[in-house]
Amino acid sequence: MTCLETLRRIVDRVLAVRESIPLVLLIASSLGFYLVSPAFLSPMNLSNMFAFIPELGIIALGMTMLLTAGVFDLSVGAVFAFAPLLTYTIVNQVGIPLELAMLVGFAAAMLIGLINGLLVTKVGISSFLVTLGMMLVVRGLGLYMSAGYPQKTLGGDPIIQTLLVGTVTIGPVTIYAGLLWFIGLAVFLHFLLRRARFGNWVLATGGNGKSARARGINTDAVTIRLFVFMSFLASFAGLISATRVGSAYPIAGDGYELETIAMAVVGGTSLFGGRGTIIGTVIGVILIRSIRNGIILIGVPGLAYNMFVGIIILVAMSVQALLERRNAS
């Protein structure tokens, strides 16, 4: 066997791993940003990126589970804003302790997820239409409830504040508590999807729902649980964000639904169900957030961000499609 053939086999094996494509894109884009602006990899800039990763990353993890099951949720951005807004409205205007108000916020979010799941599974409406309608309802409810004004989130329980937005300094880099939550959830969901029975049910539900039901899997229950869990994650991410910035805004999370879907898809999760990767989503989250950070750092107008993300999605999808066609042949 020649060296060229050996190298080709190694490349084929690497590209056969779905996470390799976003990883290569991440390394290439990071190297490009660093060459243009060395400050890209500075401790201060890395700390800033780590601060923002959890807000979208936690939602992207839940979106990966939904996409793997063959559905998705467009209401996550609205829930991201509504849950902390409801929580701190209760705290500021009713005087209920933050702990109880958080439970109310989480319960409201999970109820939204439950309604989404029931409408998709029991009524038979597509997840696109159900969650699009729910997005408008929840976003409108938040604006009506708050009259368009934010609720302050400062001065709450210091223990909860520390758990949500506390910081740990490792050398010159600041690590936020939200990042630790994101890492912990990623590890848990990777195990759940790859090693647990429920993960097999999710894969089977998205791969071939009829076959899964014939094998005794309650696909409706799986889908409903995922919608409830998705809304919980969106509310939790929203609470972290609102606590970090000091206010719960009724328009927060606008566009997050499409951005988190992009993170999951770029990472290697299929839009059509049956195939998902938590590791790929983690890479996709870091990739897209680093692009947002990098283009601003090198002086490109922030409005060009969507263009760069679109290019990354097209490149990743094209490469994955070519590799799948090659493997099939």
Mean pLDDT over each residue of the chain, to the nearest integer: 88
The Cα 30–Cα 312 span in angstroms is 13
Residue 35 lies in a domain: no
Q: Are residues 69 and 202 in contact, defined by beta-carbon separation less than 8 angstroms?
A: yes
Q: Check residue 52 and give its pLDDT.
A: 85
Q: Which of the four pLDDT bands, split at 50, 70 and 90, describes residue 9?
A: low
* Number of compact structural domains in the chain: 1
Averaged pLDDT, 96-124: 95
Q: What percent of the chain has pLDDT over 90?
A: 50
Q: What is the CATH number of the domain that holds 60?
A: 1.10.3470
Q: Each residue of 136-149: pLDDT tens digit?
A: 999 999 999 988 88
Most confident of 40-54, 76-90, 251-265, 315-329: 76-90
How many residues can be counted in the chain?
329
DSSP states of 139-202 as a string? Answer: HHHHHHHHTT--EE-TT--HHHHHHHH-EEEETTEEEEHHHHHHHHHHHHHHHHHHHSHHHHHH
Residue 7 lies in a domain: no
Domain region containing 322: 25-30+41-328
- The answer, yes or no, to whether residue 173 has pLDDT greater than 60, is yes
DSSP states of 59-111 as a string? Answer: HHHHHHHHHHTT---TTHHHHHHHHHHHHHHIIIII---HHHHHHHHHHHHHH
Q: Which of the four pLDDT bands, split at 50, 70 and 90, describes residue 166?
A: confident
Could you tell me which residues come within 8 angstroms of residue 151 by beta carbon, excluding any fewer than 6 positions away?
84, 85, 88, 89, 91, 92, 247, 248
Residue 276 lies in a domain: yes
Q: Check residue 240 and give its pLDDT.
A: 93
Residue 312 lies in a domain: yes
Q: Which two tokens stand for residue 169?
A: 């300094």
Q: What are phi and psi of 217, to 5 degrees?
A: -85, 130
List % helix, strand, coil for the chain (3-state, nearest 5).
80, 5, 20
Q: Which of the four pLDDT bands, split at 50, 70 and 90, describes residue 238?
A: very high
Q: Check residue 231 and give its pLDDT.
A: 97
Residue 8 lies in a domain: no
Residue 65 lies in a domain: yes
Residue 274 lies in a domain: yes
52 versus 126: the higher-pLDDT residue is 126
- The answer, yes or no, to whether residue 14 has pLDDT greater than 60, is no
Q: Check residue 170 and give its pLDDT.
A: 82
- The answer, yes or no, to whether residue 115 has pLDDT greater than 90, is yes
Residue 81 lies in a domain: yes
| Rg, the chain, Cα only | 21
